[in-house]
């Protein structure tokens, strides 16, 4: 099977999966494949680790899109007129871009910048990272400069957090408690609040500090247009992600829990009317030829003198150890194959590919090309 059709036909691919499964690597490999298929491709990462920049041969990545030199792409095979850009999301800047749009007044912008609720929202509040990424994805996709945009998602404990993030963030800002509180605060400053409300405010201020209360009041009270902007953007993103030209790529490992999570995510996608692009089962133990005879192992030892180091000069012993290791490895390959079969059955044969566990780290364009032989061949 191949996921090459995704790279040729879709406009947006979102790589999701739990921590460390290979999302960034997969996103970079897809991006390379997109450029090689002749498409103007952008890969966006949120991963502060420098992995994507490194693997694309760039010194570093920034919020501005950077073009990967054509020679880099040409080095691993023929090009056909595509291009490859990469960028790393700067979360704060992504929020500021939205704020700039909805709060044109410079003084109001300056006040917003100092507001600690906004500072929290644009940095550490749960879901703000994901929100920023999706908002940026939406903005870039609207500009129409790329045929294919690939989004690498942040390392989350639970990949599902990503889907829910925009709603959660907007929910936090829209929460009735916050709204009630802002109203109270404003009425209080206008001195029309009854004694009860003023009392509540005073008590609250003792717990959370009056500066905090002021910040909340100002944030919710003064920034109606901006908050509506944030809500609107969340709706835009949801609509964008439901488009038929978007594909979610569920990256997982062949371990049972990881497969389970990918299946669960797939169900959630269906519930949300979002389209599955395909599954990438990464780091699969490849199966070798069945029985490797002892004689063959001893031959192998002749070719790989470094293996002798394991057990001195006792070739028979080394061959026996190797034999055992080989069988263990084959057993792992069998376990993986069963898990992948389970995935295929549970999804009625949804597109999936297996990427083997390589005996080298993937840190350059050549490594990505190696992955592509399995991903999009």
Burial 95-129 (b: 16+ CB within 10 A, else e): bbebbeebbeeeebeebbeebebbbebbeebebbb
Question: Of 314 and 373, which has the nearer Cβ to ligand ATP?
Answer: 373
Q: Which residues bind Mg ion (CB under 5 A)?
A: 23-24, 47
N-to-C CA span, the chain: 8
Regarding 14 and contact with ligand ATP (CB under 6 A), the answer is: no
- For Mg ion, the nearest residue by Cβ is 24
Regarding 168 and contact with ligand ATP (CB under 6 A), the answer is: no
- Write down the least CB distance from residue 314 to Mg ion, Å: 44
Binds ligand ATP (CB under 6 A): choice among 75, 227, 357, 369: 357
Q: Give the number of other Cβ atoms within 10 Å of residue 178's Cβ.
A: 16
- Write down the least CB distance from residue 109 to ligand ATP, Å: 33
- Write down the least CB distance from residue 79 to ligand ATP, Å: 24
Question: Of 162 and 219, which has the nearer Cβ to Mg ion?
Answer: 162
Regarding 22 and contact with ligand ATP (CB under 6 A), the answer is: yes
Percent helix, strand, coil in the chain, to 5, is 60, 10, 30
Which stretch in 23-31, 71-79, 125-133, 300-308 sits in contact with ligand ATP by CB under 6 A?
23-31
Instruction: Give phi and psi for 272, each to the nearest 5.
Output: -90, 5
Burial of 296 (0-12, 13-18, 19+ CB in 10 A): middle
| Touching ligand ATP, residues 25-44 (CB under 6 A) | 25
Distance CA 108, CA 176 (A): 24
Bridge-partner residues for 15, per DSSP?
152, 249
Using left for φ > 0, alpha for ψ between -120 and 50, and beta otherwise, residue 312 falls in: left
- Write down the least CB distance from residue 362 to ligand ATP, Å: 4
Which stretch in 101-109, 223-231, 312-320, 358-366 sits in contact with ligand ATP by CB under 6 A?
358-366
Binds ligand ATP (CB under 6 A): choice among 13, 165, 355, 368: 355
Question: Of 281 and 301, which has the nearer Cβ to ligand ATP?
Answer: 281
Distance CA 265, CA 235 (A): 21
- Write down the least CB distance from residue 363 to ligand ATP, Å: 6
Distance CA 133, CA 361 (A): 27
Distance CA 368, CA 2 (A): 15
Q: Could you give the string, one character per residue 282-301, with x where binding to ligand ATP holds by CB under 6 A and - elsewhere?
A: xx------------------
- Give the number of residues in contact with ligand ATP, rule: CB under 6 A: 19
Interaction site with ligand ATP (CB under 6 A)? 17, 19-25, 47, 51, 155, 282-283, 355, 357-358, 361-363
């Amino acid at each position: 099977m191949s996921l090459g059709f995704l790279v040729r036909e879709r406009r947006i691919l979102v790589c999701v999966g739990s921590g460390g499964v290979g999302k960034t690597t997969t996103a970079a490999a897809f991006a390379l494949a997109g450029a090689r298929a002749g498409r103007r491709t952008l890969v966006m990462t949120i991963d502060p680790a420098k992995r994507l920049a490194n693997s694309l041969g760039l010194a570093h990545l920034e919020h501005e899109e950077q073009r990967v030199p054509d020679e880099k792409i040409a080095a691993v095979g023929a090009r056909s007129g595509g291009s490859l850009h990469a960028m790393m999301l700067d979360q704060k800047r992504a929020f500021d871009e939205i704020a700039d749009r909805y709060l044109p007044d410079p003084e109001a912008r300056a006040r917003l910048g100092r507001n600690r609720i906004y500072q929290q929202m644009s940095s550490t509040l749960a879901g703000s990272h994901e929100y920023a990424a999706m908002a940026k994805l939406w903005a870039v996709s609207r500009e129409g400069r790329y045929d294919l945009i690939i989004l690498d998602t942040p390392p989350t404990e639970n990949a599902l957090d990503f889907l829910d993030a925009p709603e959660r963030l907007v929910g936090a800002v829209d929460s009735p408690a916050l709204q009630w509180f802002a109203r109270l605060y404003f009425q209080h400053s206008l001195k029309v609040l009854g004694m009860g409300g003023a009392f509540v405010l005073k008590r609250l201020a003792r717990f959370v500090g009056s500066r905090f209360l002021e910040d909340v009041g100002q944030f919710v009270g003064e920034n109606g247009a901006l908050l509506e902007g944030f809500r609107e953007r969340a709706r835009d993103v949801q609509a964008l992600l439901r488009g038929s030209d978007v594909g979610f790529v569920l990256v997982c490992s062949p371990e049972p829990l990881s497969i389970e999570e990918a299946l669960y995510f797939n169900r959630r996608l269906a519930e949300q009317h979002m389209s599955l692009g395909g599954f990438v089962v990464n780091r699969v133990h490849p199966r070798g030829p069945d029985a490797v005879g002892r004689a063959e192992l001893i031959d192998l030892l002749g070719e790989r003198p470094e293996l002798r180091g394991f057990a001195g000069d006792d070739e028979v012993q080394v061959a026996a150890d190797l034999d055992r290791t080989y069988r263990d490895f084959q057993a792992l390959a069998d376990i993986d194959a069963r898990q992948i079969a389970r995935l295929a059955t549970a999804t009625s044969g949804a597109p999936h590919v297996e990427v083997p566990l390589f005996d080298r780290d993937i840190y350059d364009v050549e490594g990505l090309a190696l992955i592509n032989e399995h991903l999009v061949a």
